Amino acid sequence: MRASFRLGRIAGVPVGVNWSVLFIFALIAWGLSANQFPRSYPGRPTWAYVLAGLAAAVVFFVGLLAHEVSHAIVAKRNGLEVGAITLWLFGGVAELRGEASNPGAELRIAGVGPLVSLLLGLFFGGIAVVVALAGQGGLLLGALAWLAGINILLAVFNVLPAAPLDGGRLLRAAVWKATGDRTKASLVAARAGWILGALLVGLGLFQFLRGVGVGGLWLALIGWFLIGAPSWRSGRPGRAARCAGSGSPT
């Protein structure tokens, strides 16, 4: 994944954004400010919806970046080099150079990203509870609740045991630990990735044809991305920690 814009460096790793992020950013901000927020909190001025939608989308991408940076930092600590972090249409990619030396390192590198997303989700959820208890409802609460949900969803989706998701690397670490065979572990994770991808494509198309809307199409696209990832063809998990990060805004 090539970065179209460079944002700078975090923890010594170049961070960039692919142009496709603009598309998903706009889709999320639009989905929130034109649909979800007006439906849940009617009667507010348009600028308030737009502001809340934009702010929630920005914070979401900052959280996604934190997820990728955590992969990069733990990978470096475990002796791997990290080429770059790039955000794109389906989430983030941290390009890891080299291989984890043992299953434990693989587990730490893969596991920290979803853990960060989970903690962010709980953090936003906690603030949402405090805000609600303080009697402050409205758009702030709506944005916090959405951020809590989307980050927890991010954590859960990424631990699905299928390459090239983080969960695929976790599965690989587990099989590697159990059998002592790294190649076999890679194959198992890659096959699981292909199966999950095919399931998502099927489920997504089924939903789309039943008229559920773009959510189904999005699911199918993510499934296609899993199938198309280079991992299953080569039987290797790929060098990159790929994290599917963009939830459907609808």
Residue 110 vs 201, nearer CB to Zn ion:
110
Rounded to whole angstroms, how far apart are CA atoms 149 and 152? Answer: 5
What's the closest the beta carbon of residue 62 comes to Zn ion, in angstroms? 15
- Taking CB under 5 A as the criterion, the residue among 243, 246, 247, 248 binding Zn ion is 243
CA angle, 84 then 88 then 89, to 5°: 160
* 228: CB partners within 8 A, 6+ apart: 197
Rounded to whole angstroms, how far apart are CA atoms 11 and 94? Answer: 13
Q: Which residues pair with 15 in a beta bridge?
A: 8, 85
The window from 42-50, 55-63, 95-103, 159-167 that contacts Zn ion (CB under 5 A) reads: 159-167
To the nearest 10°, the Cα dihedral for 139, 142, 148, 154?
A: -100
Catalytic residue among 68, 95, 99, 106: 68
Contact criterion met (CB below 8 Å) for 38 and 47 = no
Residue 53 vs 113, nearer CB to Zn ion:
113
Task: Provide the sign of the torsion angle of the four alpha carbons 120, 219, 26, 53, taken in this order.
Answer: negative
Report which of 127, 114, 18 is spatially closest to residue 66, judged by C-alpha positions. Answer: 114
Active site residue 68: yes
Residue 90 vs 124, nearer CB to Zn ion:
90
Q: Does residue 166 belong to the site contacting Zn ion (CB under 5 A)? A: yes
The window from 40-48, 199-207, 230-238, 239-247 that contacts Zn ion (CB under 5 A) reads: 239-247
The window from 27-35, 48-56, 165-173, 215-223 that contacts Zn ion (CB under 5 A) reads: 165-173
Residues near Zn ion (CB under 5 A), total = 3
78-137: which residues touch Zn ion (CB under 5 A)? 113
Amino acid (1-letter code) at residue 175: V
Residue 68 vs 188, nearer CB to Zn ion:
68
What's the closest the beta carbon of residue 206 comes to Zn ion, in angstroms? 27
Interacting residue ranges for Zn ion, rule: CB under 5 A: 113, 166, 243
Catalytic amino acids? Answer: 68
